[in-house]
Structure 1
Amino acid sequence: MTILLAALGAAIGAPLRYLTDRFVQQRHDSAFPWGTHAANATACLLLGLAGGLALPDWATALLGTGVLGALSTYSTFGYETFALLRERERFLAFANVAASLAAGLGALLIGLAVAASLTGGG
């Protein structure tokens, strides 16, 4: 059952990631991968919130592993960073790595803090 919930969540998260990427990227005239950056930071924020709420196992499989695991994408982040390097956009490649790490960890911490305030845990 857990595998089916994760698969169902991924079936929702993957198209959501694609649509988020396209929506954001179309609004920027830049080689920087803003769409992937936005999808990954959003997934980190929501994963922090979900993790801080201590969801039951079935909900963690559906939302955490499935939806949010598919919404975020390390492979696309890696590919886009490599593509920037290949195009000799070294500054943008470095900025993508630094900004993605900072935004992802920052968003995760914000999600955890929001969860703690909602549950009275701090």
Structure 2
Amino acid sequence: MSQLLAVGLGGFFGAIARYSITEFMSRKYPGFPAGTFVVNATGCLLIGILMAIVSHKQIHSSVWVHKHVSLFLITGMLGSLTTFSTFGHETVSLLRNAEMHHALINIAGNLLVGLFAVWLGWSLVMLWIQK
């Protein structure tokens, strides 16, 4: 039961963050799904950082890798912050509206920036740990 609570609470905060960021970005950049892009890129950076911390042996026994903390942050918070389904919906909407250029930027941006962000997050933790 406590594991479900950790995931649920993380999901609550992640969903609020996602909604807030998406609303802010949609006002700032109307016509392009910048909010989804930002939450996905941010989530990728954070999961790179968190998974590096969780998997590293030197800090394996710390509070940061406690099962409930991992469930709260990774499964709950990042799981509801990031969104593949909204990315898919927004990209198809751009294509249906004949906005091929924006659709291709959205696809390439989410994929390339997302993968780079995961790598960057992981790499930053590894550099920090090695010092």
Question: TM > 0.5 between the two?
Answer: yes
Structure 1 residue runs of 4 or more that deviate by more than 4 Å after TM superposition = none
Tell me the alpha carbon deviations over residues 11-50 of structure 1, each in whole angstroms, 9 at most, x when there is no partner. Answer: 0000100101111221124x22111100110011011101
Pick aligned residue for 1:65 from 65, 72, 75:
75
- Equivalent positions of 1:97-116 (< 5 A) are 97-116=107-126
Letter in structure 2 aligned against 1:5: A
1:47 maps to which residue? 47
Letter in structure 2 aligned against 1:81: T
Root-mean-square deviation (Å)? 1.3
Q: How many residues align?
A: 120
Asked whether the 8 Å contact 1:9–1:67 carries over to 2, the reply is: yes
1:84 maps to which residue? 94
Q: Once the 2 structures are TM-superposed, how far is the Cα of residue 119 of structure 1 from its aligned partner? A: 1.9
Q: If the length of structure 2 is used for normalisation, what is the TM-score?
A: 0.86
1:14 maps to which residue? 15
**Partner SS for 2:75:** helix
**Partner SS for 2:28:** coil
Between Structure 1 and Structure 2, whose CA radius of gyration is higher? 2
Identity, % of aligned positions? 37
Unaligned runs of 5+ in 2: 55-64
Q: Is the deviation greater in 12-21 or in 112-121?
A: 112-121
Q: Does 1:117 align with 2:127?
A: yes
> Which is richer in helix?
2
Separation in structure 1 between the aligned mates of residue 129 and residue 72 of structure 2, nearest angstrom:
21
